[in-house]
């Protein structure tokens, strides 16, 4: 790697540059397309918001809020925070624009960067990219299944198959408080260290996520939410599973799943890829009954997901697959001389207007350099033009894979090139 700048990107923050950036775009767009196919409308929301929105929405007891937020005072001395996740901001916007007063459910989709001050490692960045959806205002198990099926379809469309969907129910107001007490009773009987005890007081579920072997052992017999669901929460969960079976989405029930955000209720899920080591979550989400009311809106339930674009790229790599079209352009122009450059510049613009991706050899560096550039571009064809061709109103169309070249009419080059490309597809 050559380094010519005295600055580097901030620690843990990835750049996306060619050729890898083509993979990034392909992954992001494929996941977005899966959401679009189910009628989710695009939202583009602020990268930073009032700090209180995340503190209240995501939960003060989460690592995301207590340890990982990029929070600063702006020049007007307001506390603002780079968004660590998307759901709270979407909820704020839905309330602010009264979208929940129209037809329900409100179905929204977003893609972009989020920021968490985590310890950087493979697959864990401080600026991470997500594609997310939120479906708000309808507490229908069929909608839970739709959201999960979209994520699954997005991953499948990329060609991924080495992942599994884990799912559970975190219960609701009618059973969670009692379960919480039950779990605390169990935990307080254990010889917990001070920090774990504090966690058990604040958010006992999180203790079940403790990865230390001695804690795993101690909590192996802990009561599980799934065994203590209220009748309505249980019916909801069973119906979600029934829909997933019917659609053909494969899942495993993981009753010990603990998510990093506090707003989840009922259906909660994670997509886990085995080829990624410690940072194996390629996406996750769930239902959130209380979030909207907590942010000052109507008491409407919602469900959504956030899919990690970065980790999905790593998952593809782990499976030896690619989502990107390796070709930058379809056609590469090779002008031999000044008059040819003038003609090819115009022809390139016309071809682009006709939907063909075109690049040219610039700088008059001669045929050898230009042909090398053509090969590197990944183009299917080179358009080779010299003075004699111009005189004869012709241009050479060279198949870069086979080396075959034929002459086509210069006047009709747009039509002939489009036809040749269509023929290859
Ligand atoms: P999350 O599980 O915190 O959920 O993040 C979703 C996905 O973002 C993860 O599964 C992972 O792939 C990716 N991700 C998270 N942190 C990092 C990181 N530091 N580096 C790379 N990738 C990362 C949410 O954010 C929820 N808002 C999802 C949701 C929407 N729930 C309901 N609606």
Q: Which pLDDT belongs to residue 326?
A: 82
Calculated CA dihedral for residues 291, 294, 295, 297, nearest 10 degrees: 90
CB 378 less than 6 A from any atom of ligand 1: no
Most informative mutation of 273, 284, 302, 305 for ligand 1 (most atoms within 8 A of CB): 284
Q: Which pLDDT belongs to residue 1?
A: 52
Q: Which pLDDT belongs to residue 364?
A: 86
Would the pLDDT of 3 be above 70? no
What number is the average pLDDT over the span 107-124?
Answer: 97
Could you tell me if 389 and 396 are in contact, meaning their C-beta atoms sit under 8 angstroms apart? yes
Residue 388: helix, strand or coil by DSSP?
helix
What digits encode the pLDDT tens for the residues 344-380?
A: 999 999 999 999 999 999 998 889 999 999 999 999 9
CB 84 less than 6 A from any atom of ligand 1: no
Residue 101: helix, strand or coil by DSSP?
helix
CA distance 209 to 212: 9
Give ∠ CA 280-91-273 in degrees, rounded to 5. 10
What number is the average pLDDT over the span 332-350?
Answer: 97
Q: Which pLDDT belongs to residue 60?
A: 85
What number is the average pLDDT over the span 23-43?
Answer: 97
If 0-12 CB within 10 Å is exposed, 13-18 middle and 19+ buried, where does residue 423 land?
exposed
CB 289 less than 6 A from any atom of ligand 1: no
**How many A from CA of 125 to the centre of ligand 1?**
11
**How many A from CA of 153 to the centre of ligand 1?**
18
Q: Which pLDDT belongs to residue 365?
A: 80
In whole numbers, what is the pLDDT of the chain averaged over residues? 95
> How many residues are recorded in the chain?
425
Residue nearest to atom 30 of ligand 1 (CA): 305
Would the pLDDT of 327 be above 90? no
3-state secondary structure 109-146: EEEEEEECCCCCECCECCEEEEEEEEEECCCCHHHHHH
CB 304 less than 6 A from any atom of ligand 1: yes
């Amino acid at each position: 790697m050559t380094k010519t700048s005295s600055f580097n990107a901030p620690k843990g923050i990835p750049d996306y540059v060619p050729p890898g950036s083509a993979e990034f775009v392909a992954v992001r767009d494929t996941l977005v397309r899966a959401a679009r196919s189910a009628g989710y409308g695009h939202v583009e929301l602020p990268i930073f918001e009032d700090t209180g929105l995340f503190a209240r929405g995501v939960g003060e007891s989460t690592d995301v809020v207590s340890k990982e937020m990029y929070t600063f005072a702006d020049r007007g001395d307001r506390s603002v925070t780079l968004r660590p996740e998307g759901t709270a901001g979407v909820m704020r916007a839905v309330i602010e624009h009264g979208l929940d007063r129209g037809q329900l459910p409100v179905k929204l989709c977003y893609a972009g960067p989020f920021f968490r001050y985590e310890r950087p490692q493979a697959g864990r960045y401080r600026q991470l990219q997500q594609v997310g959806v939120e479906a708000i205002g309808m507490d229908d198990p069929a909608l839970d299944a739709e959201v999960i099926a979209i994520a699954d379809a997005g991953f499948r469309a990329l060609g991924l198959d080495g992942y599994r969907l884990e799912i559970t129910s975190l219960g609701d107001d009618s059973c969670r408080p009692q379960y919480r007490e039950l779990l605390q009773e169990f935990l307080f009987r254990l010889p917990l260290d001070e920090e774990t005890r504090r966690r058990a007081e604040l958010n006992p579920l999180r203790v079940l996520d403790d990865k230390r072997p001695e804690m795993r052992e101690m909590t192996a017999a802990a009561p599980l939410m799934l065994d203590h669901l209220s009748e309505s929460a249980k019916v909801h969960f069973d119906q979600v599973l029934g829909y997933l079976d019917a659609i053909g989405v494969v899942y495993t029930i993981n009753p010990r799943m603990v998510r990093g955000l506090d707003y989840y209720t009922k259906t909660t899920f994670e997509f886990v890829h085995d080829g990624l080591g410690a940072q194996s979550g390629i996406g996750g989400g769930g239902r959130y009954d209380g979030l909207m009311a907590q942010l000052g809106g109507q008491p409407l339930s919602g469900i959504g997901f956030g899919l990690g674009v970065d980790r999905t790229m790593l998952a593809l790599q782990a499976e030896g697959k690619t989502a990107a079209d390796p070709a930058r352009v379809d056609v590469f122009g090779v002008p031999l001389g000044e008059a040819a450059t003038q003609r090819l510049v115009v022809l390139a613009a016309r071809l682009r207007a006709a939907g063909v991706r075109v690049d040219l050899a610039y700088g008059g560096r001669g045929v050898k350099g230009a042909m090398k550039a053509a090969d590197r571009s990944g183009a299917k064809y080179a358009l080779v033009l010299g003075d004699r061709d111009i005189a004869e109103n012709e241009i050479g169309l060279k198949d870069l894979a086979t080396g075959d070249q034929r002459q086509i009419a210069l006047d009709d080059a747009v039509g002939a090139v489009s036809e040749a490309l269509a023929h290859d597809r």
